Amino acid sequence: MNFQFIYRNVAASLRTGIINKPLQHNGTSPFFHLLRSVSITTNPPITVAKTRTKKKRVFSALILTVLKSQGYSDEHIERLIRRHPLGLNGDAKVLEQTLVYFREMGFSRTDIVVLLLSMPQIMRMDVNNQIVRNFKMLLPIVGSKDDIFKTALKKPALILRSIAIDGECDSQASICSILKSHGFSDEHIKIIVLKYPKVLNVDITKSQIMPNLNALALIAKSKDDIVKAVLKTPNLIIGNTALTVSLLKSYGFSEESIKKLFRKCPSVFARKNKTLEEKLVYFREMGFSSTATGTLFSSDPQILRTSIKNRINPNLAILGSMLGSKDKVVKAVLKVPRVIMNDLNSTLLPNIEILKKNGLGGDMFSDFLNIKSRILFRKPALLEKWIGLVNGLGFDIMSERYKIVAALGVLGSNSTDSLERKTKMLMSLGFTDNDVITLFKNSPYVLEVGDDTMRERVKFFMDKLHFSPSVIAAHPILLTLSLKRRIIPRCAVFNLLVSRGIKKMKMREIVLFVVSDEKFVNTYVRRYLNELPELTDALEGKVKFEGLELSCYGQPNLENLRDHFVPRTSVMKLIKKYPNVIKVNPSHLVSVVRGLKTLGFDFSSDKFVDALGILGALSDQTSKMKFSLYRSFGWSEDDIHTALVNQPLFIGVPDREIERKVHVLRDRFGWTPLQISQNPTILLLDLEKCIIPRCSVFKLLVSAKTTGIKDHPQESFLTMSDRRFFKTYINKFQNKVPQLLELYQRLI
């Protein structure tokens, strides 16, 4: 092992005057005898300068002898002297007593080395003066040597600082008694002492322990809260807790504000009052009332750690220039405390410029600050992205200002993964893209409802009340109402009233769910209690609700459907998917049913339900206009009937959209009217994402006279999945037609 560093460190000590007796390299020095005993090769003799220090210390090489005699290895000694070479300057006898005592207390040699490395002054400390007394004082409180030992390894100061003063045992015992009287157990006191031994080193008559504990009793909810706070911040019992409470009260803080501040950040009460008082004075000068300051500090204690000069004052100046008056600034800060703690130059200011650029500036800043402030502190690049998305959804800045703020707030407060997960969940329940967009546009906040809660509510409305996704999307407030407390009890009341014939009404009246509790009780419960006493149980959720009776829907139309032998299963599907059709004129619905029967529809099929739902909701005039449009495509009456039987859903496609699709298929890709009428499902497909790219690929393959491609595409060509289409037509033929892949990628 190389001990040349010892020689260099000792030489350094000689140069600084700590060791004033020159060492001669004559082989007679005890130091060099010791070095030989541990096989150390020294450097040549050193010339030592004269010392200027007045206090002279004599170096004792016996320190090394003591360490070796106590069983410490060369590695232990090397680590010690590297860390504290001046330890060689201590009293060997004192060090030996200290090492022996630690060994008797259960410390291993390795642990003692760790302890000495953490607090090297132990090597020069008289064990009897302080260390022994500390152990004796701690032992009855802590209960075991092991706990003292383990804590001392982590916090050597536990056994070094003066915590056991002669003649003060009674005082220290009194401290323990005081703590016990305030709800602290022996285990709690043990934790406090090990974490903060200074608590035992106070004079009860002069300290703040009693005032602090009394103050804690006033601002904490219970003794348990006091114990938890003190275990986390022991300085609360000997710090400035009582003084801090008095200071806050003198500045007008209410008891509730002080209690809230204590719950959120108890350490505030243990610190010095100077910084706290500076902030209290500052906010008073800036126009904050005592109540406002109390609310601000208790809502976000981080403000107490924020620099007035570097952050708070510049931010308040920026807000003042934007909002114009101190009252508005105070209101904004109370609403969003972080606005005076964040770096506004990197977030808020660039984001405001982005909002202005997109027509969302001016007084809309206050809306963002009051409704969804988080969006203002996100990265500017993200805000630009979200604004682009909102613009793409077609929000009107003039008439939908609040919804734009809410939409941006929802996008900024939720991760992309979370929003995509909700969208997929809704679509798995039968919502279309348009339904999800409608839902979001009508009430952006609905996407902040939890996944499980939203799924449960959607399934209830669809399964129990037979609401269609489009109805739910048009009334998103339904998804924000509690099933257990509001929806189910009101449905039970509704069911009782209608099933007993007391009140005739239709389930489509959404107002049933959104009116206030008081109005609902007055309108639907109290008025009929004499006739139907069980309404009270229904309102309290004691009546089980399995679903609505058919009598809750349009009674005449239900009877007409039954008279025309429409199966109950088809009626239930109709109510669930097309609920509004039950409300139409009975004679009109009968006429549609008869017409569909003439065309040969199977009344038990889903196509019959779709045809009846779509045609039943159309007025006679609208139906005539649609059929006239289809004739303009060159379709005969038989062609129209064939298309209707094959795919009745195409009737619901808007006229302008279906006209555009027919013109593209006919004029650009050469489809005949008969081909289109025989494959009506293609009229449901997206023109830009599906019809044009796929038909262009097919047209290129035909023009290249590719083997295996028919001149006239069938419906499956357009309706197959993207993966299958790519595999069947792109991968298969791209070697023969190289430009095929490029064309398809460009069009999609």
Give me the DSSP letters along 657-676. Answer: HHHHHHHIIIIIT---HHHH
Separation CA 609–CA 589 (nearest Å): 12
Separation CA 32–CA 473 (nearest Å): 92
The answer, yes or no, to whether residue 401 has pLDDT greater than 60, is yes
Q: What is the pLDDT of residue 164?
A: 44
The answer, yes or no, to whether residue 424 has pLDDT greater than 80, is yes
How many residues are recorded in the chain? 748
pLDDT in tens, 436-475: 888 888 888 888 888 899 999 999 888 788 787 888 888 8
Would you place residue 532 in the very low, low, confident or very high pLDDT band (cuts 50, 70, 90)? confident
Q: What is the pLDDT of residue 635?
A: 93
Q: What is the pLDDT of residue 643?
A: 92
Separation CA 328–CA 336 (nearest Å): 12
**At residue 358, what are phi and psi to the nearest 5 degrees?**
-100, 20
The answer, yes or no, to whether residue 346 has pLDDT greater than 90, is no
pLDDT in tens, 593-634: 999 999 999 999 999 999 999 998 888 888 898 999 999 999
Tokens for 578, please give them.
């097309």
Those residues whose C-beta lies under 8 Å from the C-beta of residue 85, and which sit 6 or more positions away, are 6, 9, 10, 12, 13
Percent of the chain with pLDDT over 70: 74
The answer, yes or no, to whether residue 173 has pLDDT greater than 80, is no
- In the numeric block, the tokens 């569909």 are attached to 596
Give, as one character, the DSSP assignment of residue 579: G
The answer, yes or no, to whether residue 274 has pLDDT greater than 60, is yes
Q: What is the pLDDT of residue 660?
A: 93
Separation CA 478–CA 469 (nearest Å): 12
Based on its alpha-carbon atoms, the radius of gyration of the chain, rounded to whole angstroms, reads: 42
The answer, yes or no, to whether residue 159 has pLDDT greater than 70, is no
More confident residue, 70 or 278: 278
Q: What is the pLDDT of residue 45?
A: 34
Tokens for 442, please give them.
């009508």
Would you place residue 148 in the very low, low, confident or very high pLDDT band (cuts 50, 70, 90)? low
Question: How far, in Å, are 3, 98, 261, 466 from residue 312 at the CA level?
Answer: 56, 53, 19, 55
Q: Give yes or no for a contact between 265 and 301, defined as CB atoms under 8 angstroms apart.
A: yes
**Which amino acid, one-letter code, is at 312?**
I
The answer, yes or no, to whether residue 573 has pLDDT greater than 90, is no
Instruction: Reduce the DSSP state of residue 209 to 3 states and report it.
Output: helix
Greatest mean pLDDT among 125-139, 221-235, 720-734 lies in 720-734
Q: What is the pLDDT of residue 634?
A: 92
Question: How far, in Å, are 495, 496, 497, 559 from residue 502 at the CA level?
Answer: 10, 8, 5, 20
**At residue 545, what are phi and psi to the nearest 5 degrees?**
-115, 115
Separation CA 544–CA 540 (nearest Å): 11
Those residues whose C-beta lies under 8 Å from the C-beta of residue 544, and which sit 6 or more positions away, are 492
Separation CA 95–CA 12 (nearest Å): 23
Would you place residue 4 in the very low, low, confident or very high pLDDT band (cuts 50, 70, 90)? very low
Tokens for 465, please give them.
């009340």
Lowest mean pLDDT among 91-100, 314-323, 711-720: 711-720
The answer, yes or no, to whether residue 3 has pLDDT greater than 50, is no
Helix ranges (H only) for 414-554 are 416-428, 433-442, 451-463, 469-474, 488-499, 511-514, 517-520, 535-539
Question: How far, in Å, are 92, 95, 160 from residue 126 at the CA level?
Answer: 11, 8, 11
Helices (H) and strands (E) in the chain, counts: 43, 0
Separation CA 418–CA 429 (nearest Å): 17
Closest of 250, 267, 249 to residue 258, by C-alpha:
249
**H/E segment holding residue 176:** helix 169-181
The answer, yes or no, to whether residue 269 has pLDDT greater than 70, is yes
pLDDT in tens, 212-256: 778 877 888 777 777 777 777 777 777 778 888 888 888 888 888
The answer, yes or no, to whether residue 17 has pLDDT greater than 70, is no
Q: What is the pLDDT of residue 658?
A: 93
Q: What is the mean pLDDT of the chain?
A: 76
Would you place residue 21 in the very low, low, confident or very high pLDDT band (cuts 50, 70, 90)? very low
The answer, yes or no, to whether residue 197 has pLDDT greater than 70, is no
Closest of 737, 746, 735 to residue 693, by C-alpha:
746
Tokens for 62, please give them.
């016996």
Q: What torsion do the CA atoms of 540, 544, 546, 548 make, to the nearest 10 degrees? A: -50
The answer, yes or no, to whether residue 686 has pLDDT greater than 50, is yes
**Which amino acid, one-letter code, is at 563?**
D
DSSP string, 19-60: B-SPPP-SS-SHHHHHHHHTT----S----PPP--SS-B---
Q: What is the pLDDT of residue 129?
A: 61
Separation CA 658–CA 163 (nearest Å): 90
Greatest mean pLDDT among 143-152, 409-418, 470-479 lies in 470-479
- Average pLDDT over every residue of 351-367: 76
Separation CA 115–CA 435 (nearest Å): 69
Tokens for 391, please give them.
């613009």
Lowest mean pLDDT among 10-14, 275-279, 404-408, 595-599: 10-14
Q: What is the pLDDT of residue 548?
A: 63
Q: What is the pLDDT of residue 202?
A: 58
Determine what percent of the chain falls in helix, strand and coil, rounding each to the nearest 5: 70, 0, 30
Lowest mean pLDDT among 308-317, 393-402, 591-600: 393-402
Q: Give yes or no for a contact between 699 and 725, defined as CB atoms under 8 angstroms apart.
A: no
Tokens for 564, please give them.
């025309």
Q: What is the pLDDT of residue 315?
A: 86
Percent of the chain with pLDDT over 90: 11
Q: What is the pLDDT of residue 11?
A: 43
Q: What is the pLDDT of residue 155?
A: 60
- Average pLDDT over every residue of 328-352: 84
Lowest mean pLDDT among 35-44, 276-285, 320-329, 364-373: 35-44
Would you place residue 684 in the very low, low, confident or very high pLDDT band (cuts 50, 70, 90)? very high
**At residue 19, what are phi and psi to the nearest 5 degrees?**
-110, 115
Those residues whose C-beta lies under 8 Å from the C-beta of residue 483, and which sit 6 or more positions away, are 456, 457, 460
Tokens for 263, please give them.
């719950």
The answer, yes or no, to whether residue 351 has pLDDT greater than 80, is yes
Would you place residue 641 in the very low, low, confident or very high pLDDT band (cuts 50, 70, 90)? very high
Would you place residue 260 in the very low, low, confident or very high pLDDT band (cuts 50, 70, 90)? confident
More confident residue, 472 or 69: 472
Those residues whose C-beta lies under 8 Å from the C-beta of residue 84, and which sit 6 or more positions away, are 116, 117, 120, 123
Greatest mean pLDDT among 382-386, 390-394, 650-654 lies in 650-654
